[in-house]
Amino acid sequence: MPPIPSRDLRVDTPAGTLFATRWQPPGGSNPPIVLFHDSLGSVAQWRGFPERLAAATGRDVVAYDRLGHGRSDPHPSRLRLDFIDDEARTGFRHVREALGIGPFVAFGHSIGGGIALACAAAWTRDCRAVVSVSAQAFAEALTLEGVARVSAGFRPPEQLARLAKYHGDKAGWVLDAWVDTWLDPGFADWTLDDTLQRVQCPVLAIHGTEDEYGSVRHPERITTLPQGPGTMRVLPGVGHFPHKERPDVVLELVSGWLAMLP
């Protein structure tokens, strides 16, 4: 595959500067795909997937680091419990304006899938489709147990250094934001239901049978509650990172599904 041209960008917001990268395949004309990373993620942690996604779909692909993550500025405070809806109104809105994005396809992994769906609900006229990968739709016991178990493994300094590789001295905040939000008693009754019911575009939900952070009840809700048509694809033997564990399968699913949309 020939390299896809890309460029790094900085997006100024009232809360701080966001880092973004845009991959632009030659001749691309369809609405771009915007990637939303997971709770511990960043642009760099997508690795080679955005470039391959751009090549497979012939669309521009945009990924950005949410405030406090990756190469974006530090977050000034604790993460709000309504951060999913808030990101659609703040960070994503500024990225759209700075990059001149009109119609778009939202693609999110894990909690990024929830943010992608929140963006679809907030921008119903412009969001053409949503792809959620291993997204959570409610605070399931399996999710909370997974967060508590895995977060403990990150606490030793040598393990926290794994996050610092991508987030620098913001690594501690990133970990705390993930753990403190999911395990906050005020988040125990959280669901994505209201957001899902406002989504009007087609939705593709991809989920692995071995996902340690959520059962298939999540993609079931994600594909049945929106007003638009929903498609669920459950991948046998796959965990929480289908786009890394089975990238060829995910790319084929996504590119084929997008090609069939009007």
Q: Which two tokens stand for residue 192?
A: 């994505």
Taking the C-alpha atoms of residue 20 and residue 84, their distance in angstroms, rounded to an integer, is 19
pTM over the 0.95 mark: yes
pLDDT, one tens digit per residue, over 175-205 is 999 999 999 999 999 999 999 999 999 999 9
Q: What is the distance between the alpha carbons of residues 222 and 201, in angstroms, rounded to a whole number?
A: 12
The mean of the pLDDT values for the chain is 96
Answer yes or no: is pLDDT of 159 > 90. Answer: no
Q: Can you list the positions of beta strands (E) in 51-142?
A: 61-64, 104-109, 127-133
- What's the CA gap between 198 and 227, in Å, rounded? 7
142 has pLDDT over 80: yes
Over residues 14-40, the pLDDT tens digits come to 999 999 999 999 987 799 999 999 999
- Residue 207 is predicted with a pLDDT of 98
All domains of the chain, ordered by start, with CATH? 6-138+191-260 (3.40.50.1820)
* Tokens encoding 35: 């990637």
Q: What is the mean pLDDT of residues 163-176?
A: 95
Q: In this predicted structure, what is the pLDDT of residue 100?
A: 97
